[in-house]
Amino acid sequence: MFNFIKKLFNKKAVYIVGPSTLNELLQQFDQPTKQKTQADVIRDYQVKETMAALEVDMLKMDPSLVYRGGQMWLDHEGNKYFDFVPCVLRPEVLYCAYGKN
């Protein structure tokens, strides 16, 4: 109980930075956006490449994904056969091959 009272009376001051009213907030949307320099574009690209490499490294630590796929085939007489096939896939393969099919 004493700790609660101590924390209650020893609150730190809160400093408000930025817009404090709705009108000030809406005025920020009317301001022109900052144009990116070539250094900003290069830094954004480096960050994107670093994050992609980190994502692949993190996915390599995950276990393989196991699911059941289906296989269908026709014989020479036209009979249709269907069978369930177990499939195992590494998570980083899905990440690296997304949108490349």
Domain boundaries, the chain: 2-97
Which pLDDT does position 19 carry in this prediction? 73
Q: What is the pLDDT of residues 56-95, one digit of tens each?
A: 999 999 899 888 888 888 988 889 998 988 889 898 988 8
- Asked whether residue 5 carries a pLDDT value surpassing 80, the answer given is no
Instruction: Give the lowest-confidence range in 29-33, 51-55, 80-84.
Output: 29-33
Bridge partners of 82? 72
Nearby residues of 82 by Cβ (< 8 Å), 6 or more positions away:
70, 71, 72
pLDDT tier, 32 (very low <50, low <70, confident <90, very high otherwise):
confident
Average pLDDT, the chain: 85
Amino acid at 76: H
Which pLDDT does position 8 carry in this prediction? 66
- Asked whether residue 41 carries a pLDDT value surpassing 80, the answer given is yes
Quote the pTM value.
Answer: 0.50
In three-state secondary structure terms, 57 is helix
